[in-house]
Amino acid sequence: MTTPVTILATALERGACRTRRAAARLARPDGHGRGALAAFGALAAADLLATARRPRGAARAGKPLLMPSLAAHVLRRRETADAPVPGTLLAGLACATAGDTALLADEYEPAFLLGMAAFLGTQVSYTAGYLRRGALTGLRRRPWIAAAGLAGWAAANAAVAPGLDKRLRAPVAGYSLALTAMAVTALGTGARAGTGALAFLGSDLLIGLRAAGHVFPGQEVAIMAGYLFGQYLITTGWPVTP
């Protein structure tokens, strides 16, 4: 005899199977991953348009799908299913997805702090990946990059801190230091990685200025555009190998 519990269990099992099949299709290698990049482009255009109209609200429901589409590109651009997966890049994109979701409600302090914590995971993951790619070798040849990064971090925090709530100053300083470390190691890796990291850094600097009360027209769109451009360059510039 079929019971409601049996029906529910069957429906959940079928749903799980469909989800697994969909995930397998998204991760299936094709050697280029252009379809996933096209999806990212469409989602990015829709989100920027929604941001220009109203930065918060139902129109931005697609924002949490942006980084998963880049992750799908990373998986699909492999030549074969046995090819190595760039774990630090995928971990960073996963953390960014959590951050994007939390920051949909960034007018509330807990959501803002949760988003910052998630993106801290992104910065740590990317930095670890760049160090594995030989960033220190590049920085030894150009030590001024690290010095400029540290000076820029100190100057930015000095400018932003007075306008921040006292409870936010330490978290912002800590997160921005991790972000600066990511940008510095990216610059030690190569031009494409460095450009993407600087765009990411610029986007977060604008967020810091907004949090400190420095608001100007078009700021929300500039924040999102810099972030999307940065993540695009970081992802597409990352080698297929880990």
Has residue 66 been placed in a domain?
Answer: no
Backbone φ and ψ for 240, nearest 5 degrees, come out as: -65, -35
Domain containing 134: what range? 82-236
Position 25 scores a pLDDT of 58
- What average pLDDT score do residues 185-195 get? 94
Query: Per the structure, how many domains does the chain have?
Result: 1
Has residue 88 been placed in a domain?
Answer: yes
* Interval 140-174: pLDDT, tens: 999 999 999 999 999 999 999 999 989 889 999 99
CA 219, distance to chain mean position in Å, is 18
Has residue 56 been placed in a domain?
Answer: no
pTM over 0.85: yes
Has residue 90 been placed in a domain?
Answer: yes
Q: What is the DSSP string of 77-103?
A: TSSSTTS---HHHHHHHHHHHHHHHHG
Has residue 177 been placed in a domain?
Answer: yes
Has residue 225 been placed in a domain?
Answer: yes
- What average pLDDT score do residues 18-23 get? 47
Burial class (CB in 10 A: 0-12, 13-18, 19+), 64: middle
Burial class (CB in 10 A: 0-12, 13-18, 19+), 96: buried
User: What is the 3-state composition of the chain as percent helix, strand, coil, each rounded to the nearest 5?
Assistant: 80, 0, 20
- What average pLDDT score do residues 109-119 get? 93
Query: Degrees (nearest 5) of the Cα angle 239, 76, 229?
Result: 60
Position 200 scores a pLDDT of 97
Has residue 220 been placed in a domain?
Answer: yes
CA 163, distance to chain mean position in Å, is 26
Position 24 scores a pLDDT of 53
Per DSSP, 65 falls in state G
How many Cα atoms within 13 Å fall on the side-chain side of residue 128? 14
The whole-angstrom separation of Cα 80 and Cα 102 is 34
